[in-house]
A = this chain, B = another copy of it.
Amino acid sequence: MHYVAIAAQPLDVQALYEKLKAPEFGGIVTFVGTVRQWTDEIETQSLEYTAYTEMALKEMTKLAVAIEAKGANVVIVHRVGQLELTDEAVFVGVAAAHRGEAFKWCEYLIDTVKKQVPIWKKEFDTDKIRWGGLNDV
């Protein structure tokens, strides 16, 4: 059974992982995106994520339901609020019968979350503030 959430509090990776476990699914792949310090020459100090929460949840639910229909458990949780270096921004987990599917579906889900779920990153870098998704204007 899928679990999707927009979380204002730090992600509990262990608890989210536990939601994926099931006797019929032997392969569990998780992706966690954390706040990275360096992007080429740019040094990030912190991030702020905001979301169009109701629509984000709808989009995440659509994605999760479509993958679960193939035979899987899916968890997708995204943080909002102020994040520091190494804080967890997003958790995507897939439990499936076989590992090849779990890898493929987990990567598809995070790729798709990044493309079409209405969540925005405001990056506080050492040189200036940047909005994710926009060309560096």
Contact = CB atoms under 8 A, between A and B. Distances in A.
Interface of A: 13-14, 17, 21-38, 85-86, 97, 99-100, 102-103, 106-107, 110
Contact of A34 (B25, B30, B85): B25
Contact of A36 (B24, B35, B36): B24
B31 A99 contact: yes
Given A13-B17, A107-B103, A26 B31 contact: no
A106 B102 CA distance: 12
Contact of A13 (B14, B22, B29, B97): B14
Given A14-B14, A86-B22, A97 B29 contact: no
Contacts of A100: 107
Nearest to A35: B26
A99 B110 contact: yes
Nearest to A43: B23
B32 A28 contact: yes
A63 B77 CA distance: 31
Contacts of A26: 33-36
B34 A28 contact: yes
A22 to B, nearest CB: 7
Given A29-B30, A110-B99, A37 B24 contact: yes
